[in-house]
Amino acid sequence: MSDVLSRRNFLRAAGIAGAATVGVASTPAVWAASPAPKADPVHTSHTAASQAAATSADEMDDHHEEGVKIFLENIGKDERFWNNRLPYREEDGVKVFELTCQEIDWEVAVGQTVKAMAFNGSVPGPEIRITEGDQVRIIVHNEMSQSTGIHWHGVIVPNNMDGVPFITQPPIKPGESFTYEFTARNSGSHMYHSHHNAMEQVTRGLLGAFIIDRKDPSKDPQYDADYTIILNDAGIGMTLNGKSFPYTQPILAKLGDKVRIRYMNEGLQIHPMHLHGLEQLVFAKDGWKLPLPYYCDTVNVAPGERYDVLVHCHTPGLWAFHCHILSHAESAHGMFGMVTVMVVEE
């Protein structure tokens, strides 16, 4: 998506950078598109607040503003955030993927580095993307100092491919490899992650999206763009796709677009994801199509769950998009953690 809207154009469209700097209620391009209110918003002095309070309020506002400015300046600078698909090679009709588990330093935000465990150097690991009926082989190399085992969460596999050490396979010891192989039977938004010392390994980053596209896409709703948001909270802190606001990336859409969003929770807490201004049509849970979709604005995602929603971008603007457990999203020093923005351009 990031090529449909250059950062420069985006900032001009939004008019936010300027507005934020001068601190007045100007009417940037993207706002002007909204049905004009009968009376323009006015911003008038009401009572004489004490100078002390004003100073303190100004300091807090400066922190908030700084976060938003960093977010806007960072747009497009992390291609990996939305687009990190694992390449594969074909061997005799089998799609062959390779994953390497390593202990790495991961930057959840500039200046905030955590001791992570990662697939192929990324948190989350790269997305594995296949189609119903595909035969896949996934070779897992363990370069960590702990053993591991990889579970294909939600994917129907033969039992010996399920990845639970001492239940379905021996652990993959440090320095060893293990090959998983199966045929993709159930389409949908699934996940892969460690299933060994998982309380540590998953929360520190050994996780990724495992998406099985339908053979017949007409069974899914039609959409113009497709995003995955992986929620995490424990080992690497409050993050969307491994990053904490302001280092998350926005969803960039055009007026009229239908955007598919896949929520996946790999954390230890629920995360009710609230999108401003645009309703969400929930049409699948855990990769399984719901018998009847339903509308909402807040999708409560529990650990292990996935939800697929469709957002019709009917109103232009910059729509805040965040976990509604406010302690996961904002402090007196500004927004952080599980926050991003959905931008709808005219």
Interface with its own copies in residues 290-309 (CB under 8 A): 290-298, 300, 302-305
Nearer of residues 79 and 346 to its own copies, judged by Cβ: 346
* Smallest distance from its own copies to CB 212, Å: 13
Nearer of residues 4 and 36 to its own copies, judged by Cβ: 36
Nearer of residues 221 and 304 to its own copies, judged by Cβ: 304
* Smallest distance from its own copies to CB 90, Å: 13
Query: In angstroms, rounded to a whole number, what is the distance separating the alpha carbons of residues 246 and 74?
Result: 8
Query: In angstroms, rounded to a whole number, what is the distance separating the alpha carbons of residues 218 and 289?
Result: 13
Interface with its own copies in residues 206-245 (CB under 8 A): 234
* Smallest distance from its own copies to CB 324, Å: 3
CA count, 13 A, side-chain hemisphere, 152: 29
Cis ω before 246 (30° cut-off from 0):
yes
* Smallest distance from its own copies to CB 244, Å: 15
User: How many other CB atoms sit within 10 Å of the CB of residue 288?
Assistant: 14
Structure tokens at 341: 């923005």
* Smallest distance from its own copies to CB 336, Å: 10
Query: In angstroms, rounded to a whole number, what is the distance separating the alpha carbons of residues 113 and 103?
Result: 13
* Smallest distance from its own copies to CB 273, Å: 9
Tell whether the torsion through CA atoms of 264, 267, 268 and 273 is positive or negative.
negative
User: Per-residue contact track with its own copies, 168 to 197, x per CB under 8 A?
Assistant: xxxxxxxxxxxxxxxx--x--------xxx
Given candidates 79, 143, 217, 224, which one binds its own copies under the rule CB under 8 A?
143
Given candidates 134, 220, 226, 286, which one binds its own copies under the rule CB under 8 A?
286
Query: Residue 151: beta bridge partners?
Result: 193
Nearer of residues 201 and 241 to its own copies, judged by Cβ: 201
- 133 belongs to the binding site for its own copies (CB under 8 A): no
CA-nearest of 201, 218, 74, 227 to 144 is 201
CA-nearest of 3, 5, 1, 25 to 15 is 25
Query: Residue 319: beta bridge partners?
Result: 342
* Smallest distance from its own copies to CB 232, Å: 11
Interface with its own copies in residues 253-272 (CB under 8 A): 268-270, 272
Interface with its own copies in residues 308-327 (CB under 8 A): 315-320, 324-327
Interface with its own copies in residues 11-50 (CB under 8 A): 16, 19-20, 23-25, 27, 30-31, 33-35, 37-50
Interface with its own copies in residues 67-126 (CB under 8 A): 67-69, 92, 94
Query: In angstroms, rounded to a whole number, what is the distance separating the alpha carbons of residues 161 and 176?
Result: 16
For its own copies, how many residues bind (rule: CB under 8 A)? 132
Query: In angstroms, rounded to a whole number, what is the distance separating the alpha carbons of residues 340 and 346?
Result: 20
Q: Is 40 exposed, middle or buried (0-12, 13-18, 19+ CB in 10 A)?
A: exposed
* Smallest distance from its own copies to CB 301, Å: 9
For 51, 61, 64, 328, 333, the CA distances from 57, given in Å and listed in that order, are 10, 6, 11, 22, 11
